[in-house]
Amino acid sequence: MRKKILHLLLICMCMLWSQMVSAQDKRPSVDSIINIPSAYYSKIENKYEGLEDRVTKQTEKYLQRLFNREKRLQRKLAKIDSTGAKQLFANSEKQYAQMMDKIKSTSSKVSGNSGAYIPMLDSVKTSLAFLGQNSSLLSQSKEVQEKLKGSLSKVDQLQGKLQQSEQVKAFIQQRKQQIKESLSKYTNLPKGITNEFDGYKKEAYYYQAQMKEYKEALNDPGKMIEKGLTLLNKLPAFTQFMKQHSELASLFRLPDNYGTPQSLAGLQTRAQVQQQIQNQLASGGPNAQQYLQQNLQAAQSQLNTLKNKINNLGGSGSSGDMDLPNFKPNNQRTKTFWQRLEYGTNIQTAKNNFFPTTTDLGLSVGYKITDKSTIGVGASYKMGWGQDIKHIAITHQGMGLRSYLDIKLKGSFFASGGFEYNYQPMNADSLSSTSGMHWNEISSWQQSGLIGISKIVSIKSKFFKKTKLQLMWDFLSYQQVPRTQPVKFRVGYNF
């Protein structure tokens, strides 16, 4: 009897232990919702509000530019056909004003999707909807609830702006086609009209490229948003919610009996499909399979070639409907000021009998004008190492201000030029030989005019993106007193 009681107690303890373990396994899932930092909502709200503001401002700017192009085009066309110009641009001002008012409107309601599917936007919006429906599991503080509602509101507003930008793109395409058809009726159009219309097409292309840039920015979540989504993805309830309520789920709605044997009724099995393929190949002769593989490889190669061409023209990604431009696009134009900045550092050493006498340490910041040209400014510090290996002494030898311009030649080679002012402290001997000279006067600064070649070497590093090797000729070195070395070799690193 005692053994039976002990056996029953042992079974009860095992059951209690298994329940405790299962409870502990489930608890982190609930905690992962509760412990989502409030900064998750703040980051979403700030990022999406900033993007919405940029979409609005850029759309207004491009609409104004296109309208100005149309007004100039109307004036030039009226000189050769006033009636045709009046008909073509009759409602132009009204249409642009309507588009302006629509994009400025703050009541942007989301209807359907925002055009191209944006995975991160879908994930963020669905996560906020899930948290809103499970608010009982969140912190009940008023601040958290308001942040959740505010961030969801900003996501909806951004989606509304993206929908409006799609309408603007459609309007621009329509106007461009109308102008093109009207101008095609004329022969020997003046160059001013064709140039103006080419400018219109450029502005239309860059607007599409700008919207593409913003949509790609949405797929970069940032560390805080990524952390919140990682916590939510650990919840089976959230993954199930995504399958049912995400935008992707609405695009590819699965049947209610998906995953059950009933859903497979009437479908061919894999074995049947493979057998049908074998039968078709058998009827083509002994070399049919080899011939099919060769054709597939050739087709794949042609598709890859076409894909690379489209990517080089900027027509990939979420804006696959972009028109192929008839000019070489400047991809820097759609980037922000800060995105076009390039930071770097470089080192230059002067030697005497293989011993470094001075080393110039420079810092620079460049602005990318186009994909192939960069202009920038910088500063340098000159440090001395002493006379020789037996008399090493680190000393201050001067400083400098720099400006530079790099223009791409071919491949990784660039034509480089620059103008510099280098300050050289005067010692007692130089002051005695140069009467009345003080170190704060402009004559204490030596001018350098540099031209040469740069070579970019790509590297994989946590901090530096590429190495820059420069061979420069200082054509003003012959005018300097004391004369400096005319040839300079510099090694730089961009980050």
Distance CA(58)–CA(55), nearest Å, equals 5
- Name 381's bridge partners: 361, 399
The band of 58, judged by pLDDT with boundaries at 50, 70 and 90, is: very high
Residue 248 CB coordination number (10 Å): 14
Which residues does 163 contact at the CB level (< 8 Å), separation at least 6?
Answer: 108, 110, 111, 112, 114, 115
The band of 275, judged by pLDDT with boundaries at 50, 70 and 90, is: confident
The band of 258, judged by pLDDT with boundaries at 50, 70 and 90, is: low
In which element (H, E) is residue 402 found? strand 392-410
Model confidence at 358: pLDDT above 70: yes
Mean pLDDT within 276-293:
67
Residue of 376, 384, 383 whose CA lies nearest to 419:
376
Decide which of 432 and 97 is more confident.
97
Predicted pLDDT of residue 404: 95
Decide which of 466 and 319 is more confident.
466
In which element (H, E) is residue 450 found? strand 445-458
In which element (H, E) is residue 205 found? helix 191-218
Mean pLDDT score of the chain: 79
Model confidence at 271: pLDDT above 80: no
Decide which of 215 and 465 is more confident.
215
pLDDT digits (tens, 9 = 90+) for 317-338: 444 455 667 788 898 998 989 9
Parallel, antiparallel, or unpaired for β 341-352 and 487-494? antiparallel
Q: Percent of the chain at pLDDT above 90?
A: 33
Predicted pLDDT of residue 493: 86
Q: Is the dihedral of CA 408, 409, 410, 412 positive or negative?
A: negative
Mean pLDDT within 47-75:
93
Does the pTM surpass 0.75? The reply is no
Model confidence at 27: pLDDT above 60: no
SS3 call for 2 = helix
SS3 call for 473 = strand
Residue 103 in contact with residue 59, Cβ under 8 Å? yes
Distance CA(124)–CA(114), nearest Å, equals 14
Predicted pLDDT of residue 1: 52
Predicted pLDDT of residue 298: 77
Predicted pLDDT of residue 322: 56
